[in-house]
Amino acid sequence: MTQLTTTEFEKPTTEVSKLTPTEIGKAVGRKRYWIAAFAFLAFLVAYLDRSNVGVLVADPGFVNAFGIAQDKSAQGSLMSIFLICYGVSNFLAGPLVQYIGPKRALVFGLLWWAGMMAVMGAISSILIMLVCRGLLGIGESMLSPAVASLIQAWFPKKERTTANGVWFIGMKVAQIIAAPILALWVYQVGWRGSFYILAVIGLIPMCLTAYHVYDHPSKSPKVSKEEADYITSGGGVAAVKTTKIDYSFLKTSSIWYITAVFSIATATIWGFVSWVPSYLKATLGFSWAQMGALAALPFLSATVSVMVFTPLMDKSNRRALFVLVGLAICAGALVFAMTTESRMVAVVVLSLATAGCSLTVPACFAMVQNVTSQNQVATATGIFNGVSYTFASIAPFGMGLLYDWTGTLKSGFLGLSAIVVIAVFLCIPLAVRRL
């Protein structure tokens, strides 16, 4: 193992850790916040790229072009193929990020995504579209391990849930704007043009990452010694690089409980992403314009929830307890949303379910970062994310099958509520600990 840091990063300034957040900002600087900002932008672009088909399957021009207008399971497979390729690729992406470093992984990944979006805008074959969706999943698999590695290096433990919440909000912002903005683009330039716009947008965070992101504070010429000391004194890792991959975290029961809970939450979230637009339009009978606005409400509620509760999770150090309560709310709200007779009440309660479930994401990532070392975190995040997304890949396709069999999307959402109840019970062993 080779030590890359200088001695100035080896002696934390203990006095700094006693300051208030405002005093800390004045005393040590806030360059680490830019890492969270770049992660926000990368996830925003990634989730626009991966979730756009959830909106496009509601567009007659798109589904007719690929001959899947009447095949709901085929529509669901466009999301499922992405998820399964993304999930499986995470198992290899984690060790790769650990080896090449998060900055290089992000630059390569962002360039890859932009290329895939350009190709998808030019094709008319459902088979090629499925292949491209799979390749998009492979390219995006580097995102979570890379960002997890950056957050572990750049943030003390007491700020990590909030830092993870920032990139999660980027994901939610993408989901909030996806329906209205994609609907606008499809109306103005067609579904092909919407892919080309996304390809160009993807180049922006790629350039910013290449010029402004560093793997560790010690490598950045703009980070003060005081800020670096503050990070390391709060549990931030030293700038150590190793080619040895440590898998000893697999023996830790907490990792597997976190992974199981996150797997169910991820399946639920992607069930929402894939089918909420169609549920609003086809089941509840809203117009295309109404759907574009209302489809954003569940993701807006998730954004507000994460903004409010992630700082409280860090302050209390009881992340799993927040997750347990959020998932319990999600399960109950889903059942109520599917049984109410009021269309607007269904939308509001579905938004509450999304808000409760969404707390799982930043909390679980922070818990993984807190129970692993620096030479484990990217690999652990790859496995944790890989298992979760491989499991989650079943949700869009499974809900499409239930839709075909029962003639209603309500059956799919009720199925999601049943598995969320399982996640509530899996949270109990984690909730008794402070992770």
7 inside domain: no
Predicted structure pTM score:
0.75
**Which CATH number is 361's domain given?**
1.20.1250.20
Per-residue pLDDT of the chain (435 residues; tens, 9 = 90+): 333 333 333 344 444 445 455 455 555 678 888 899 999 999 999 988 887 887 788 788 888 888 888 777 788 788 778 878 888 888 888 888 888 889 999 999 999 999 999 999 999 888 999 999 999 999 999 998 999 999 988 898 889 999 999 998 998 888 778 777 888 888 888 889 999 999 999 999 999 888 888 888 888 888 888 888 888 776 555 555 555 677 888 888 899 999 999 999 999 988 887 788 778 877 888 876 777 678 778 888 888 999 999 999 988 888 999 999 999 999 999 999 999 989 899 999 999 999 999 999 999 989 998 888 878 888 888 888 888 888 887 887 888 888 888 888 888 899 899 999 999 999 999 988 877
Query: Could you tell me if residue 18 is inside a domain?
Result: no
Q: Is residue 26 part of a domain?
A: no
Question: Are 129 and 66 in contact, with CB atoms under 8 Å apart?
Answer: yes
Q: What dihedral do alpha carbons 100, 105, 108, 110 form, nearest 10°?
A: 180
Give the three-state DSSP class for 3: strand
Q: What element of type H or E holds 90?
A: helix 72-100
Say what the alpha-carbon torsion angle 161, 360, 117, 72 is, to the nearest 10 degrees.
-170
Q: Is residue 404 part of a domain?
A: yes
Encoded tokens for 82: 């992405």
Structural domain includes residue 3: no
Which residue carries 């926000």 as its tokens?
40
- Choose among 158, 409, 171: nearest CA to 269: 171
Tokens in use for 237? Answer: 């890792």
The answer to whether 296 and 179 are in contact (CB under 8 A) is yes
Q: What is the pLDDT of residue 234?
A: 64
Backbone angles phi, psi at 250, to 5 degrees: -65, -15
Cβ atoms 242, 1 nearer than 8 A: yes
Burial 41-56 (b: 16+ CB within 10 A, else e): bbbbbbbbbbbbbbbb
Residue 10 located in a structural domain = no
Domain residues for 166? 31-236+244-431
Kindly state whether residue 12 falls inside one of the protein's structural domains.
Answer: no
| pLDDT for res 195 | 92
Angstrom distance (rounded) from CA 88 to CA 390: 6
Q: Residue written as tokens 């793997």?
A: 215
Q: How many domains does the chain have?
A: 1
Predicted local confidence at residue 3, as pLDDT = 36
Q: Considering only CA atoms, which of 82, 364, 41 is closest in space to residue 173? A: 41
**Cα–Cα distances in angstroms (integers) from residue 72 to residues 67, 76, 86, 408, in the given order:** 11, 6, 22, 11
Is residue 309 in some structural domain? yes
